[in-house]
């Protein structure tokens, strides 16, 4: 391997992941002592996610004309909701075909605290109400992303109207500069990503028992197959619509994929996705800021696929036959929960218990799913983060906002300052400083 290749972040993270797994297997339980190092890395990224998402959404909406905002939002939501429906439908088909829960054996008790958390959101009405915060500061403190994005969208529209009526873009300039500073901060943290990934996987390798994995192989295999099919389908749609060479995508998405599958967190991967979508794929910053920020919560196609399969797994494990109405309801819940759950590791148990309780399925079987959730987390996050980039490409293509020279590696995104648009130039957003981390 060439020395230059070792400077590639994706390769470094991949090597660190392999080394961490080998180290954890060799030293066993002692590797758990390293988990704190990995947790520190995750928290360093998480602490900047909320202000970065807010700044990105506000800048994207605040810098456009009213008609531009509506079109961009419509196209983004259209593709995200459409892909989510496709993911749920595919999950139903695969679950009926492969019966992932049939013959599953389960035992043991579920943590009462998890059951209480699931019961706290007992109806879909509660989930919808949770999208609208009564205290945005409280939502920011708990990183509840959907209310944050809704507030940011409304704030951006209001800021757009303010700039149009007063001709004063100073607040918009400040938010643009805040976004750039946060991206630089996160790139600083990403320098130690291989160390954090090594520590996380070393601790995990000494803890995960493969006996419990083999019990749920059908569930894991069904989920993995669904992810592969959806990835191929989404890439084919993007290639057909944009007429760009799809075989260039693996290398362009390599870095964000490495971070996604090693951290199993869409939120932690978000800054890298934003950088790569602009710098390597060529999507305009205007589209990337908006579509990727919204996609952080609405674009979790891997989660929709997985949650729908969970419904069938629990039903089949408990010998419950789902009616057509229950299947449609389960698909709807999966799509709704995709928007309402946390985008960092650890949200799955509450979701699984909520689905079991709402649909009257055996709660005891959830323990088996929780035991292998790290593996399904890899599958979910892979599709979530890369699906967001693919949707951004589709949205950008509609207005010819993909730089094809950048995509075809004929031009490099140069480091740029952050000029603030004046009142006459609000339909453009300055380029994200995406080249600062280029080795």
pLDDT of residue 333: 80
402 phi and psi, to 5 degrees? -110, 125
Average confidence (pLDDT) over 92-100:
93
Element (H, E) at 258: helix 254-263
Which domain covers residue 249, as residue numbers? Answer: 8-27+38-407
Q: Which two tokens stand for residue 374?
A: 């790290």
Please check whether residue 167 lies inside any domain of the structure: yes
Q: Mean pLDDT for the chain?
A: 78
Determine the Cα angle at 208 with ends 204 and 211, to 5°: 165
In this structure, of 17-26, 123-132, 281-290, the range with the lowest mean pLDDT score is 123-132
Q: How far apart are the first and last CA of the chain?
A: 17
Q: Which two tokens stand for residue 336?
A: 């709704």
167: alpha, beta or left? (left if phi > 0; alpha if psi -120 to 50): left
Q: Which two tokens stand for residue 28?
A: 């066993």
Angstrom distance (rounded) from CA 297 to CA 283? 20
Question: With a threshold of 0.75, does the pTM exceed it?
Answer: no
Average confidence (pLDDT) over 48-65:
76
Q: Residue 270: which of 295, 238, 240 has the closest Cα? A: 295
Q: Residue holding tokens 């946060």?
A: 182
Query: What CATH number is associated with residue 159?
Result: 1.10.3860.10
**Which tops the pLDDT comparison, 174 or 127?**
174
Q: Are 334 and 307 contacting, i.e. CB atoms less than 8 angstroms apart?
A: yes
pLDDT of residue 30: 85
Please write the tens of the pLDDT for every residue from 168-219. Answer: 889 988 988 887 888 788 778 878 878 887 887 787 666 654 444 555 788 9
Angstrom distance (rounded) from CA 12 to CA 399? 36
Please write the tens of the pLDDT for every residue from 370-391. Answer: 767 778 888 999 999 999 999 9
Which 8-state DSSP code applies to residue 232? Answer: H
Angstrom distance (rounded) from CA 347 to CA 340? 10
Average confidence (pLDDT) over 288-297:
83
Q: Which two tokens stand for residue 412?
A: 């490099």
Which 8-state DSSP code applies to residue 402? Answer: B
pLDDT of residue 423: 34
Q: Are 72 and 165 contacting, i.e. CB atoms less than 8 angstroms apart?
A: no
Q: Which two tokens stand for residue 337?
A: 């929960």
Q: Which residues contact 82 (CB under 8 A, 6 or more apart)?
A: none
Q: Are 326 and 304 contacting, i.e. CB atoms less than 8 angstroms apart?
A: no
Which 8-state DSSP code applies to residue 388? Answer: H
Confidence of residue 435 (pLDDT cuts 50, 70, 90): very low
Please check whether residue 1 lies inside any domain of the structure: no
Residue 44: count of CB within 10 angstroms of its CB: 18
pLDDT of residue 261: 87
**Which tops the pLDDT comparison, 370 or 138?**
138
pLDDT of residue 74: 86
Please write the tens of the pLDDT for every residue from 108-119. Answer: 444 454 445 555
Q: Residue holding tokens 């309801």?
A: 329
Angstrom distance (rounded) from CA 209 to CA 197? 20
Angstrom distance (rounded) from CA 59 to CA 289? 8
Please check whether residue 419 lies inside any domain of the structure: no
Domain count, the chain: 1
Confidence of residue 418 (pLDDT cuts 50, 70, 90): very low
Confidence of residue 88 (pLDDT cuts 50, 70, 90): very high
283 phi and psi, to 5 degrees? -70, 140
Please check whether residue 420 lies inside any domain of the structure: no
Please check whether residue 402 lies inside any domain of the structure: yes
Please check whether residue 3 lies inside any domain of the structure: no
Q: What are residue 283's DSSP bridge partners? A: 402
Please check whether residue 425 lies inside any domain of the structure: no
Q: Which two tokens stand for residue 297?
A: 């919560």
Please check whether residue 351 lies inside any domain of the structure: yes
Residue 428 clears pLDDT 70, i.e. is over it: no
Confidence of residue 72 (pLDDT cuts 50, 70, 90): confident
């Amino acid at each position: 391997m060439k020395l230059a290749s070792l400077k590639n972040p994706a390769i470094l993270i991949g090597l660190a992941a392999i080394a961490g797994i080998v180290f954890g297997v060799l030293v066993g339980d002692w590797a758990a002592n390293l988990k704190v190092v990995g947790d520190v890395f995750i928290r360093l990224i998480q602490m900047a996610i909320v202000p970065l998402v807010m700044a990105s959404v506000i800048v994207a909406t605040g810098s456009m004309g009213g008609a531009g905002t509506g079109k961009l939002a419509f196209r983004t939501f259209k593709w995200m909701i459409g892909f989510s429906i496709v993911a749920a439908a595919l999950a139903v088909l695969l679950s009926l075909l492969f019966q992932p829960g049939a013959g599953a054996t389960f035992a043991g008790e579920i943590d009462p605290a998890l059951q209480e958390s699931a019961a706290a959101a007992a109806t879909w009405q509660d989930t919808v109400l949770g999208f609208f915060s009564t205290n945005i500061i409280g939502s920011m403190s708990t990183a509840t992303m959907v209310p944050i994005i809704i507030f940011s969208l409304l704030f951006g529209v209001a800021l757009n109207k303010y700039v149009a009526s007063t001709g004063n873009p100073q607040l918009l300039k400040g938010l643009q500069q805040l976004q750039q500073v946060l991206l630089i901060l996160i790139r600083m943290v990403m320098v130690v990503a291989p160390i954090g990934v090594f520590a996380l996987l070393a601790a995990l390798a000494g803890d995960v028992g493969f006996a419990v994995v083999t019990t749920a192989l059908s569930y894991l295999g069904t989920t993995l197959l669904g992810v592969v099919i959806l990835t191929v389908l989404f890439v084919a749609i993007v290639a057909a619509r944009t007429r760009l060479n799809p075989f260039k995508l693996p290398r362009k998405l390599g870095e964000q994929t490495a971070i996604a599958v090693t951290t199993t967190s869409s939120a932690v991967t978000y800054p890298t996705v934003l950088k790569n979508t602009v710098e390597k794929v060529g999507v305009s910053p205007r589209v990337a800021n908006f579509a990727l920020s919204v996609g952080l919560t609405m674009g979790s196609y891997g989660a929709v696929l997985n949650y729908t399969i969970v419904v069938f797994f629990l039903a089949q494990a408990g010998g419950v036959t789902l009616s057509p109405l229950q299947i449609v309801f389960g698909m709807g819940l999966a799509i709704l929960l995709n928007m309402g759950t946390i985008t960092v590791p650890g949200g799955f148990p509450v979701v699984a218990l909520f689905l079991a309780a709402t649909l009257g399925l055996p709660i005891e079987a959830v323990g088996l799913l929780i035991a292998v959730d790290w593996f399904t987390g890899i599958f979910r996050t892979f599709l979530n983060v890369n699906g967001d980039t693919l949707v951004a490409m589709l949205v950008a293509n509609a207005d010819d906002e993909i730089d094809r020279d950048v995509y075809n590696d004929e031009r490099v995104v140069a480091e740029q300052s952050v000029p603030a648009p004046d009142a006459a130039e609000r339909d453009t957003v300055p380029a994200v400083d995406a080249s600062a981390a280029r080795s």
